[in-house]
Structure 1
Amino acid sequence: MCGIVGYLGPSGNAAVLQRMNDCQAHRGPDGQGSFTDGAAGLGHRRLSIIDVAHGQQPMTTADGRYTLVYNGEVYNYLPLREQLQELGHTFTTESDTEVVLEAFAEWGTDAFDRFNGMWGLAIWDSADQRLTLSRDHFGIKPVYVAQVGDTFLFASEIKSILASGLYDAKPNDRTIYRYLRFRIHEDGRETFFDGIERLEPGEALTVDASGTARAPYTRLREELAELATEQRPYDEAAAADYKARLIEAVRLRLQSEVPVGTSLSGGLDSSAVAVIINQLLNSGDETTTESVGTKQNTFSAVFPGSANDEEKYVDAVLDSCRGHVAAHKIKPTADEFKADLRDFIRTQEEPLISSGPYAQFQVMREATQHVTVLLDGQGADEMMAGYIPYYFVYLRQLRAQGAKQAAAELSKSLDVLYRLGRFKLKDKLTGKKSIPATAFLAPDFRQKYAGETYRVEGSNLKLRLIEDLFVGSLPSLLRYEDKNTMRFSLEGRVPFLDKEVVKFIFSLSDEAIIKGGWNKRILRDATRGLLPDLINRRRNKIGFTTPQGEWFMRLKNYFYNIFLSESFANRPYFDQNEVLHAFEGWIKGSNGVDSMQFWRLLNVELWLQEFFDDKDSEADQPVRVKTDLEPNADKELDLVTASGVTVRRYPLRTELFSRDDDLDARVLAQIDRFFETLQGDPEQAAEMAGKRWYYFISEKIVAITQGRSYFIWDINVGRPARVLSKYVTRTPAGIGLGSPFTMQLAIQEAGLPRVLYASAGGAVGKLIGKRGMFYELVGGDIRAIDGPTEYSAYPSNVSAKLAPKDPDDVAARLTAAIRERVPAPYRDTFGGTIVMDANDIGRNVLGTDVPGDTTRFEEMFADNPLGQGGEQTPMAIVVER
């Protein structure tokens, strides 16, 4: 398996080609090569599988006319080689690459339909100055293309096109809408990048002086539809024929000079591959199984204790292969998912349907330590109705043929159909309401694409399967596999997608696919006696997935912070308030929103951050923790107040506070540390000697230790809070009452009548140009209510806080304790304590034991020296100089 890149046009050059090729080094760590001819350039990265010693690329025909870069495997290359030799072609290597090249030289684009395998390739014809691209029949291997001005680019990965320096990255808004609205994430030719397209399965593309042309090189899709009308009877002989064909497909995919293993999920499909390989090992055919070795390496993701754990099924397969298997079990966790999330999203390049492919990501990371090639069961579901919705399609088809036949099939499928509807039924019984995907979209974005539709075949089983093989389902699964395998320099092979095997299934009657409530009937019949009954007769499908709901609940703080972020709020795609409200309800269990909906929103946001947002060059630099005698970043120690007084502010860094902390003890520990640090710096000590000084403390940590800070999901937001918050300007970073949960706290603190009264007064104030009327009328310390802030340390990033209770008393108590604690020279100059609500848009003294006007203390914090991020400096020593 390899990676290909290239260009055709005047903007391309050797430097562009090298950048593109370097970007996908993981696809081919065993070598690289490049070729240029005038305005054309081809690049290649090689992962050596067959004819390791030879077969380097780009490869050129002996006459110099055709040059090939090729990613994939053509499994029938040996018989093709014999045909070409009979036609006069000679070969200098044992590689399938040379067969592909000579086949094109002989038959042109007609060669592609002769291949049985997987590929993405590019061929340059120096005589006709024509570039030809091709992708295999099912789209197992990718090819991406972009026309940038007068230069055409292509690559195995989107990142290579981005690395060219020629393409200006821009999101494809229509694709984003269709993904968020309909869950479509492999939308024909279009990608999530505006201007970057993919070749479709079975498609060839040519570029020359006359322009660009795209067309299918095969009639496979039409052939399958035609075969479906034959409806050959299904019987034991057909099952035996299918078994022989499947075994041959597996055997062909064991061709390799490097180690081969198996991805084993515990489902019917991957288990079938594993037991077939085990049978080949038992047969003693060492030539066929040389790449496997004496024991088959299997790789499985398991989730002990989770509802969707398949370990017992994996173990059943392993037990049946005992003696010839070396099992590797991977146990992904929520914390690992969080740590890998950005790498995973970068690997996939485009948003994906769920977090499920992360299990595969983890499996591939382990597999690369043991093998270079991995077989799995991809594609079987889409040709043999492996998903529950296919039952509904089949039942509609039967109903059109006769109610009696449909009723008989329905009666035998009830347990399967119940599994699909049980969660919706449970939500209805508990009163949980689902929320449509459009509710989470920004109104303008929603309106712009309101006319978009997505229709699927609903009443013809074979046509629906064909649709999902080429459009609706399989393309995305193949994308996941390609990205995940190649991220770790692995080649993935999918024996179920052998072209001849697929054609055989579609030539049989529908009873080969579904009958008597059993899907994948032909596969079950073919593997009876090979597979344990626990696998062969199981009716619940899980597959490579993750316990997403459980993980999201564990990582709710992290995900909430993403939804809360300013970047999420500023996107043109999302309605942040609706998303936050729904996520809070999901955490509390008060709505029926599926975690898949939240995943799509998260995925788009993180994808935008990864591929479009400016990266902070200092983000990966180690953070230096400041001392107590230094200012926070971008702040100053000294300030001249509006009253003309010069003050020096020392922000004190602390560990995080919780409601279980003893505030006084923590404060005194910080005071002790400050004065110890001060004594070690004679210059600063001299600056403070004999001068009046004060202790400032953030109201947040006082409120936290008083138990007046609440996780968002613990605040029961009522309808009045939701309505009223919409009429309050949402201030930056969660400050103020512009969110339902802070408004709910305000209502609880001041009472709904007073909040309504103050809201009316605020509206009048705006009309007459007087600001702040709301806060004057509402009374209390409502101004000090804070919502969660994305940049704050946990738990402030996921909680809302009331103002501290009795802040004057808190200040007096702390002053008395500090005065007893500080060194004698500083005792008499200590002025007292100030409980301050400070942020980058305002200051407000909430409590103090210092008599007189508090305006001067607010002036001392005019630039908020405590910072407004994750500095963890919620207190300060302030000296009047």
Structure 2
Amino acid sequence: MCGLAGLFDSRGCREIDGATLRRMTDSLAHRGPDGRGEHVGPGIGLGHRRLAIIDVGGGHQPLYNEDGRVVVVFNGEIYNFHDLAVELQSLGHVFRTHSDTEVIVHAWEQWGEDSVRRFRGMFAFALWDEDRQTLVLARDHLGKKPLYYGALADGMLVFGSELKALLACPAVPRDLDPLAVEDYFAFGYIPDPRSIYRAVRKLPAAHLLVWRRGEASPRIQPFWDLGFHRPAVTDMDQARAELIERLTEATRLRLVSEVPLGAFLSGGVDSSAVVAVMAGLTAEPVKTFSIAFDDARFDESAYALRMARRYATDHHSRTVGTDDFSLLDRLAEIYDEPFGDSSAMPTYRVCALARQRVTVALSGDGGDELFAGYRRYALHARTEAARRLIPAAIRRPLFGFLGRAYPKADWAPRRFRARTTFQELALETCDGYFQAVSAIDDAGRARLFSPAFRRDLQGYGAVEVLRGHMRRADTDDAVLQVQYLDMKTWLPGGILVKVDRASMAHSLEVRAPLLDCRLAEWSAGLAPDLKLKGGEGKAVLKRAVEPLVDSDLLYRPKQGFSMPLARWFRGALLPRLQAMAAGRTLEGSGIFDMDEVRRLVGQHASGRHDHSAALWLLLMFEAFLSHAAQVPLRQPGEVNGYHV
């Protein structure tokens, strides 16, 4: 894996400041400790930090075509590069390396913008075509690799693999985006294409940014999408057989490496399936890595150990205390913007463990999104069935009244929270799902924000993120619709961000066979009841791997990486919460009603309510503000609006 950064003058050929490009590039040294390189030309500068995986000796970047007129910096892996190289050589292209990176420049020469449709892998790259005076930024089909950019007022485009690379450029404004703040406190992360800063955007998954010098603005367009509109596979036996074939092929592609390779093994269905398939493809024992917790309520390590013994893996585990929250401030440094998934902490720990022995690790990411594994899918399907049976003229007022009248039971398991269910039934499909996935509901966010901040939102609500994607979902099936929403939001904005930053902080490359774009396309063509059958998620995946994974492991309740936030906030972290509520960091931002912040802390500490989700988001936002305040600004006092 690697890191890239760059500067592009869209209006002319101004000299690129070499010191700025070096700062931007070197801010990503953790992504690429094995080498650095730069290309600087009239009005264009490209920087690269390398983590050497394939063609360790010859794959240095930036990398050029035969005449040096096309140059690329690249983060990721093109898994089908051997086949593409053979095809391109037959068309007359001359290769000087054995690196997958070189495929990109020759594919651009041959096929132009259509080249990205042929790439099978995870990638973010910046390509400069001197003859066409054109810059191309691209991000892979499912958003596994990140790419940030900012178009400045003077016509300069700044871009990089992480926000910290852009913030190393003094010209990038640091004003916070109020809409991104609203999104964060709704979702717990900031979905594409926004970032926490007004001036910086994320290139969405499966998109190109193309900017020809002299044009007023870049062209940003999709090159691929998942289509759920025509289920092509309806037979379970056919589906389970084909799934194993496709997963095996996707895994085999991801075993190409010139450096040590292993796998995460949590003891869940997805990672167990990947490790089982890997074990059948490799002669040597698979190196596996897992995190154990010192509290049985959060610990899955026994299941991971069973899988490790079954396949005789070279297994390594580390026990983490469930009261270990020492990474809280470190997370702010890693993620650069507010990120509210507390499972980032064990993810960081397992990446650190794996990097001691391997440079590449395979993961089970994507199984829940592709095969409807989240419990909320079954809940949504039942709610939507009821919603469609009752006319809206009756449903909205009736369930709206019941939702207001029924006591709130935020202490209870989700399936027993009747008030929440009533509120969802009163809403339409997209709005109901938004309420189900919101970290803090609309009313809670309205109370949390200051009156001035609410005015600056100008009526915007984070539900608009889901509404925009719902309009593009080409299906009316309830489960497929919310799968599509998660593939556009939670997967690239939450899951993949968590893994990318945690792994790259340790210079570890993570590959996800279940997120192969061809496997994803096939999964979108499965009939919904093959994924969610009788309320059971991932039905086809579990049936497919029954010969490979113990039955009681496959069909046990889903657990996942969860942290005891409620207990922390009534114990060891309570003093920090109280300091947050009394301190100047949140208050000074102008975003929050501090009386509400203090009310949340007090009610949670007393045990009357569980506000742990909201308090964690506030704590991580405060950590972000504190860290961002340490990043050098252009000049003192130049941050406008909501500030850090």
TM over 0.5, shorter chain: yes
> Partner letter of residue 278 of structure 1?
A
Report the Cα offset of residue 313 of structure 1.
Answer: 2.3
CA deviations 1:687-732 (Å, max 9, x no partner) are xxxxxxxxxxxxxxxxxxxxxxxxxxxxxxxxxxxxxxxxxxxxxx
What residue number does 1:445 align with? 453
What residue number does 1:690 align with? none
What residue number does 1:578 align with? 596
Contact kept, 8 Å, 2:208 with 2:222, in 1: the verdict is: yes
**In structure 1, how many angstroms separate the alpha carbons of the residues matched to 2:332 and 2:322?**
17
Report the Cα offset of residue 446 of structure 1.
Answer: 2.5
Q: Is 1:388 paired with 2:375?
A: yes
What residue number does 1:714 align with? none
Report the Cα offset of residue 422 of structure 1.
Answer: 4.1
What residue number does 2:5 align with? 5
Match of 1:373 among 360, 372, 379: 360
What residue number does 1:547 align with? 564
What residue number does 1:186 align with? 190
What residue number does 2:574 align with? 556
Query: Residues 434-513 of structure 1: matches in 2 within 5 Å?
Result: 436-449=444-457, 451-453=459-461, 454=463, 456=466, 460-513=478-531
Report the Cα offset of residue 568 of structure 1.
Answer: 2.4
Contact kept, 8 Å, 2:144 with 2:492, in 1: the verdict is: no
- What secondary structure is seen at the aligned counterpart in 2 of 1:195? coil
**In structure 2, how many angstroms separate the alpha carbons of the residues matched to 1:592 and 1:157?**
34
Give TM-score scaled by structure 1 length: 0.63
What residue number does 2:262 align with? 261
Q: Is 1:346 paired with 2:318?
A: no
**In structure 2, how many angstroms separate the alpha carbons of the residues matched to 1:334 and 1:214?**
48
**In structure 2, how many angstroms separate the alpha carbons of the residues matched to 1:421 and 1:446?**
32
Cα RMSD after superposing both structures: 2.5
Structure 1: state its 5+ residue gaps: 287-293, 404-417, 617-881
What residue number does 2:402 align with? none
> Partner letter of residue 225 of structure 1?
F
Query: Residues 170-569 of structure 1: matches in 2 within 5 Å?
Result: 170-180=175-185, 182-183=186-187, 185-207=189-211, 208-221=213-226, 224-226=227-229, 229-281=230-282, 286=283, 294-321=284-311, 323-335=312-324, 337-338=325-326, 340-396=327-383, 419-422=413-416, 436-449=444-457, 451-453=459-461, 454=463, 456=466, 460-538=478-556, 540-553=557-570, 554-569=572-587
Report the Cα offset of residue 298 of structure 1.
Answer: 1.8
Query: Residues 465-864 of structure 1: matches in 2 within 5 Å?
Result: 465-538=483-556, 540-553=557-570, 554-593=572-611, 595-612=612-629
What residue number does 1:658 align with? none
Contact kept, 8 Å, 1:178 with 1:452, in 2: the verdict is: no
Report the CA distance shift for 1:83/1:614 in structure 2 as closer, same or farther (over 3 A): closer
Contact kept, 8 Å, 2:286 with 2:314, in 1: the verdict is: yes
Contact kept, 8 Å, 2:54 with 2:100, in 1: the verdict is: yes
Higher RCO (Cα < 8 Å, 6 or more apart): 2
> Partner letter of residue 112 of structure 1?
V
Report the Cα offset of residue 574 of structure 1.
Answer: 1.4
Report the CA distance shift for 1:560/1:209 in structure 2 as closer, same or farther (over 3 A): same
CA deviations 1:379-417 (Å, max 9, x no partner) are 1111111211111333355568889xxxxxxxxxxxxxx
In our comparison, the structure showing a higher alpha carbon Rg is: 1
**In structure 2, how many angstroms separate the alpha carbons of the residues matched to 1:24 and 1:310?**
34
Report the CA distance shift for 1:11/1:574 in structure 2 as closer, same or farther (over 3 A): farther
Q: Is 1:90 paired with 2:94?
A: yes
Report the Cα offset of residue 152 of structure 1.
Answer: 0.8
What residue number does 2:409 align with? none
Report the Cα offset of residue 52 of structure 1.
Answer: 0.5
CA deviations 1:755-808 (Å, max 9, x no partner) are xxxxxxxxxxxxxxxxxxxxxxxxxxxxxxxxxxxxxxxxxxxxxxxxxxxxxx
**In structure 2, how many angstroms separate the alpha carbons of the residues matched to 1:108 and 1:543?**
42
What residue number does 1:865 align with? none
**In structure 2, how many angstroms separate the alpha carbons of the residues matched to 1:423 and 1:260?**
44
CA deviations 1:816-863 (Å, max 9, x no partner) are xxxxxxxxxxxxxxxxxxxxxxxxxxxxxxxxxxxxxxxxxxxxxxxx
What residue number does 1:49 align with? 53
Q: Is 1:155 paired with 2:160?
A: yes
CA deviations 1:402-436 (Å, max 9, x no partner) are 89xxxxxxxxxxxxxx953247799x9xxxx9982
**In structure 2, how many angstroms separate the alpha carbons of the residues matched to 1:211 and 1:296?**
52
Contact kept, 8 Å, 1:300 with 1:329, in 2: the verdict is: yes
> Partner letter of residue 327 of structure 1?
H
> Partner letter of residue 380 of structure 1?
G
Report the CA distance shift for 1:507/1:473 in structure 2 as closer, same or farther (over 3 A): same
What residue number does 1:774 align with? none
Contact kept, 8 Å, 1:169 with 1:612, in 2: the verdict is: no
**In structure 1, how many angstroms separate the alpha carbons of the residues matched to 2:508 and 2:565?**
26
> Partner letter of residue 521 of structure 2?
K
Contact kept, 8 Å, 2:295 with 2:322, in 1: the verdict is: no
Q: Is 1:23 paired with 2:41?
A: no
**In structure 1, how many angstroms separate the alpha carbons of the residues matched to 2:341 and 2:333?**
15
**In structure 2, how many angstroms separate the alpha carbons of the residues matched to 1:402 and 1:423?**
21
**In structure 2, how many angstroms separate the alpha carbons of the residues matched to 1:422 and 1:310?**
25
> Partner letter of residue 265 of structure 1?
S
What residue number does 1:857 align with? none
- What secondary structure is seen at the aligned counterpart in 1 of 2:228? helix
Give TM-score scaled by structure 2 length: 0.85
**In structure 1, how many angstroms separate the alpha carbons of the residues matched to 2:279 and 2:569?**
38
> Partner letter of residue 294 of structure 2?
P
**In structure 2, how many angstroms separate the alpha carbons of the residues matched to 1:511 and 1:201?**
27
Contact kept, 8 Å, 1:563 with 1:602, in 2: the verdict is: no
Report the Cα offset of residue 504 of structure 1.
Answer: 1.1
**In structure 1, how many angstroms separate the alpha carbons of the residues matched to 2:376 and 2:222?**
31
**In structure 2, how many angstroms separate the alpha carbons of the residues matched to 1:521 and 1:396?**
20
**In structure 2, how many angstroms separate the alpha carbons of the residues matched to 1:467 and 1:147?**
28
Contact kept, 8 Å, 1:80 with 1:99, in 2: the verdict is: yes
Percent identity between the two aligned chains: 31
CA deviations 1:127-178 (Å, max 9, x no partner) are 1211111000111101110112221111001101111222132211221123
- What secondary structure is seen at the aligned counterpart in 2 of 1:358? helix
Report the CA distance shift for 1:400/1:233 in structure 2 as closer, same or farther (over 3 A): farther
**In structure 2, how many angstroms separate the alpha carbons of the residues matched to 1:333 and 1:517?**
31
CA deviations 1:562-611 (Å, max 9, x no partner) are 22212223221112222122212211211242x11001111111111111
